[in-house]
Structure 1
Amino acid sequence: SAFRALARSWFSHSVLFDILRIIAAQKATVVLTSDHGSVFCNRATRAYGNRETTTSLRFKIGANLGCEEGEAVYLRNPKEYRLPAENASKDYILAKDDYYFVYPNDFYKYKRQFQGGFQHGGISMGELITPVVTLTPRL
């Protein structure tokens, strides 16, 4: 795909690739990881909240939240899931699958702006599983 070709081109000309080649020349093993995974988001779904609601595209924390049923998980009792709850009125909504949250005002503008991007903070397997790779030099 075009995205993979672009990523390959960027990586092959990056400083990171140069560093990995230097490490490989020393016959060292590299373990490369991230703090979380991400998901390629293609579908916008409406989220409702007040001005204090968080701005993340894959989750919202706040009072009086609303979301489209089936496109998100609504957690009304965060403590039950061992999530932080500053007070009893704070709820969570978490995007499912490849959905991302957009507020109803200017919905189509923000839908276009964020469609086709990698996001994190939802509850997909791609976000919950921490990516890790072990790189060993070729002998």
Structure 2
Amino acid sequence: VSNIHQNKQADVVALVYNFVDTLSHARTDVEVIRELASDDNAYRRVTATWFEGSPLRKALKWAAENGFKVVLTTDHGTVNVNKATKVVGTRDLTTNLRVKNGNGMSYQGKHSFVVKSPEKIGLPKHHIVDEYIFALNDHFYAYPNNFNHYVKYYRNTYQHGGVSLEELIIPYVVLDAK
């Protein structure tokens, strides 16, 4: 962002800015962030406060002043997870809290979108009996061993990888200079 002025003659400039994603992960791992962004409204306020003085805002202002059209988007959405659902499987299950891939999994079907033939929807199939499960709504997967620890640690955190509208619909806005 600090070198954006060097791109004044470029037809297209792409910037990747990970602050919001980093903040959502920090909300899981850092107690101070968890307190500052204790719910959805507080999370939005923290993000807005950061944005006001951010290099990203300065870059957007520079782009507007120099007549650039800006397309602002994200690579995925997130969902605030609050309910754990148990999953059991082999050690090679994926680590994501919202999606699991493997074979021989045991899970609660009512909290999962199940894909038994991943190749039919364009997902990779590593073994003959591979399947995918995606957590629904505000659920996340936790293993039975240390279940209560995982529930306490991940409840009320932002996660991605599931199939909720919040995670799948990719918003964007086109900003034209005045």
CA positional deviation for 1:94: 0.7
Cα deviation digits, residues 90-139 of structure 1 (max 9, x gap): 111111111111111111111121122222111111222122122234x4
Instruction: Give the helix-richer structure, 1 or 2.
Output: 2
Runs of at least 5 residues in structure 2 that lack an aligned partner in the other structure: 1-40
CA positional deviation for 1:30: 0.7
Alignment match, 1:91: 131
Alignment match, 1:43: 83
Q: Which amino acid aligns with 1:54?
A: T
The answer to whether residue 159 in structure 2 is matched with residue 119 in structure 1 is yes
CA positional deviation for 1:27: 2.8
Q: 1:101 aligns with which of 120, 141, 152?
A: 141
2:56 aligns to what SS in structure 1? helix
Alignment match, 1:129: 169
- In 2: Cα distance, 1:115 partner to 1:15 partner: 31
Runs of at least 5 residues in structure 1 that lack an aligned partner in the other structure: none
The answer to whether residue 111 in structure 2 is matched with residue 71 in structure 1 is yes
The answer to whether residue 40 in structure 2 is matched with residue 20 in structure 1 is no
How many pairs align? Answer: 138
Instruction: Give the strand-richer structure, 1 or 2.
Output: 1
TM-score in terms of structure 2 length: 0.71
- In 1: Cα distance, 2:159 partner to 2:108 partner: 19
- In 2: Cα distance, 1:100 partner to 1:52 partner: 18
**Shift >6 Å, 4+ stretches:** none
Alignment match, 2:18: none
The RMSD of aligned alpha carbons is 1.5
Q: Residues 65 and 93 of structure 1 are in contact (CA less than 8 Å); yes or no, is this contact kept in structure 2?
A: no
Which has the bigger relative contact order, CA under 8 A and spacing at least 6? 1
- In 2: Cα distance, 1:41 partner to 1:54 partner: 18
From the superposition, tell whether residues 27 and 37 of structure 1 become closer, same or farther in structure 2 (CA, over 3 Å).
same
TM-score in terms of structure 1 length: 0.90
